[in-house]
Amino acid sequence: MFFRFLCLVLLAFSLFTGRAQAQEYSQISWINLIHTLVRFNALNLLDQNLLDEYAIISECDLYKKYYQNDFKWNQVRQAIRESVSMNVATYPTNYQHDLTMRLGRFDFEGKIFRFDEKSSLHGVNTFALLAVDGTGCGGAKVEYIPRVFRAILSSPIFLEGLPLSEEDAQALLTRMEKNQNPERIIFLRYNFRTVYVEPLRKIEERRDMGQKAHYAQTNAGSQKEVKFDMQLDSVGFYEDPQRTKLIYQYTP
């Protein structure tokens, strides 16, 4: 009876979150990125170390209530695995990543609104997606599941600025002045698509080297960071932080 109740609870929760993730590009969050790892078979939830930490992140209330009870917690593990199996096809693989940058001066000869020198997009192929502090689940510890996520693009971005006519550039500057934006800040939205994730492998304990068992994508890799091989679908450049007023859209 307890196991059936757990399955119903997890099914109801997964149906709710599945609807929230039906959008084409999902919001970046710890649980979403972990779900991507699971979908790409990069995080093995048959491993109890990883499963228990997955529960801390995704099912905190169940973890706090049942973890100390060995037998009930074993049933929770089974219910979580069943829920994941039923819903893995709905886990997100595509993400939107919001950043800001500054425009420099308008190039009248090239008809391009160049980026500020500190806001270059010349040969950029790696992006820090998320770095997590704490667990959000009381005093529960997460030691094995990654906390730092990075996107690696197959092709770097080469973009010197926004191609605009003189009229459009002047109108943009006028609106920026009206909106009290003298630093010429613009708001970007990257749309990424995950194509591959190298699986996390268990690196066994090496007591002679003072090394505890941990999980990493490579033997020499970081246990805290995981890299996603991603494709850039587009970058939208907006003049408002809500990203509703599109200036220019770049598609590779």
The model scores a pTM over 0.85: yes
Residue 7 has pLDDT above 80, yes or no: no
Residue 26's pLDDT is what?
97
**Cα–Cα nearest to 58, from 80, 43, 74:** 80
pLDDT classification of 6: cutoffs 50, 70, 90:
low
Between CA 128 and CA 195 the distance in angstroms is 17
How many CB atoms neighbour CB 103 within 10 A? 24
**Choice between 121 and 19, residue whose per-residue pLDDT is larger:** 121
* DSSP assignment letter at 211: B
The first and second tokens of residue 173, run together, are 């500057």
Torsions phi, psi for 119 (to 5 deg): -120, 40
pLDDT digits (tens, 9 = 90+) for 194-226: 999 999 999 886 665 556 788 999 887 778 899
The first and second tokens of residue 114, run together, are 């160049």
Torsions phi, psi for 60 (to 5 deg): -55, -45
Instruction: Say what percent of the chain tops pLDDT 70.
Output: 88
pLDDT digits (tens, 9 = 90+) for 23-63: 589 999 999 999 999 999 999 999 999 999 999 999 999 99
CB 78, CB 68: distance < 8 Å:
no
**Choice between 22 and 48, residue whose per-residue pLDDT is larger:** 48
Instruction: Say what percent of the chain tops pLDDT 90.
Output: 77
Residue 20 has pLDDT above 60, yes or no: no
Three-class secondary structure of residue 1 per DSSP: coil
How are beta strands 148-159 and 121-131 bridged, if at all?
antiparallel
Residue whose token pair is 């190039």: 107
**Choice between 162 and 224, residue whose per-residue pLDDT is larger:** 162
Residue 56's pLDDT is what?
96
* Buried-state track 192-210, b at ≥16 Cβ within 10 A, e below 16: bebeebeebeebeeeeeee
Between CA 200 and CA 223 the distance in angstroms is 9
The first and second tokens of residue 29, run together, are 């969050």
